[in-house]
């Protein structure tokens, strides 16, 4: 299917073959995240979205091959970062994803770059960060407009607070959440829980109230 894309000149035919190739990748490539929702309607929706985001001037076969590697090795949502980098001609991120995806510190490098990009803006916020001493407090509804966090290791509280302030209160933009598919950051009925990995040994759990998830 990837080979067939090289000989397509008509844009409509190219789009149809692209969607078909993407559907095949989504259906046959093992993925920890996508495996929770293994259904063709979802794959078709994702296939059309991805196909529309691939720039016309890009090497489609190369892009799809990279997407397949991302799905099998990483958080599949990294595909969006890659497509956005292609669209905005962010050559650094494109080269990083294409050349270092097989390296053990690949995800760490991508996260570091994304955080640097996030903190370049000068933004103000009115979000209040509340650190709690136990994880049960994450499910409290006493302060629905604030951000509640639990840090298991007390020595990392200052690190997390600094991380929050450096992101100008917009840490959720860096963490990434997906409201439909299960994954590292999952939507549960009592709210949105995010697990942030500071290093190979330390995790932080945060929770924000989710008014859209009833029951």
- Same domain, yes or no, for 149 and 47? no
Which residue is it, tokens 């690190």?
A: 159
- Same domain, yes or no, for 114 and 133? no
Indicate whether 213 belongs to any domain.
no
Model confidence over 173-209: pLDDT tens digits?
A: 666 544 444 444 444 444 455 566 665 666 556 555 5
Model confidence over 91-112: pLDDT tens digits?
A: 999 999 999 988 888 888 888 8
- Same domain, yes or no, for 111 and 203? no
Mean pLDDT of the chain: 74
SS (H, E, C) 90-146: CHHHHHHHHHHCCCCCHHHHHHHHHHHHHCCCCCCCCCCEEEECCHHHHHCCCCCCC
Q: What proportion of the chain, given as a percentage, has pLDDT over 90?
A: 7
- Same domain, yes or no, for 61 and 147? no
The tally of domains found in the chain comes to 2
pLDDT of residue 99: 92
User: Could you tell me the pTM of the whole model?
Assistant: 0.59
- Same domain, yes or no, for 79 and 24? yes
Mean pLDDT of 156-174: 76
Check residues 215 and 136 and name the one with the higher pLDDT. 136
User: Helix, strand or coil for residue 195?
Assistant: strand
Q: How far is Cα 198 from Cα 57, in angstroms, rounded to an integer?
A: 38
- Same domain, yes or no, for 85 and 133? no
Model confidence over 53-71: pLDDT tens digits?
A: 888 888 888 999 999 998 8
Q: How far is Cα 207 from Cα 12, in angstroms, rounded to an integer?
A: 44
Q: Domain end: 118, 148, 165, which one?
A: 118
- Same domain, yes or no, for 112 and 168? no
- The parent domain of residue 171 ranges over 129-208
φ, ψ dihedrals at 212, nearest 5°? -85, -15
């Amino acid at each position: 299917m990837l080979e067939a894309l090289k000989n397509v000149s008509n844009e409509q035919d190219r789009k149809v073959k692209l969607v078909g190739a993407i559907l095949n990748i989504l259906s046959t490539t093992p993925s920890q995240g996508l495996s929770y929702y293994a259904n063709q309607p979802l794959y078709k929706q994702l296939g059309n979205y991805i196909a529309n985001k691939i720039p016309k001037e890009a090497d489609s076969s190369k892009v799809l091959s990279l997407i397949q590697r991302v799905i099998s090795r990483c958080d599949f949502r990294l595909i969006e970062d890659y497509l956005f980098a292609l669209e905005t001609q962010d050559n650094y991120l494109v080269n990083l994803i294409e050349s270092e995806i097989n390296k053990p510190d690949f995800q760490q490098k991508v996260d570091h770059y994304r955080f640097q990009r996030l903190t370049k803006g000068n933004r103000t916020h009115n979000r209040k960060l509340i650190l709690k001493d136990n994880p049960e407090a994450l499910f409290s509804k006493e302060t629905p407009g604030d951000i509640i966090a639990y840090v298991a290791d007390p020595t990392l509280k200052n690190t997390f607070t600094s991380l929050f302030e450096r992101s100008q209160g917009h840490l959720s933009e860096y963490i990434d959440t997906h409201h439909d598919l299960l994954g590292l950051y999952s939507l549960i009925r009592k709210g949105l829980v995010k697990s942030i990995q500071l290093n190979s040994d330390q995790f932080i759990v945060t929770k924000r109230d989710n008014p859209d998830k009833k029951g």
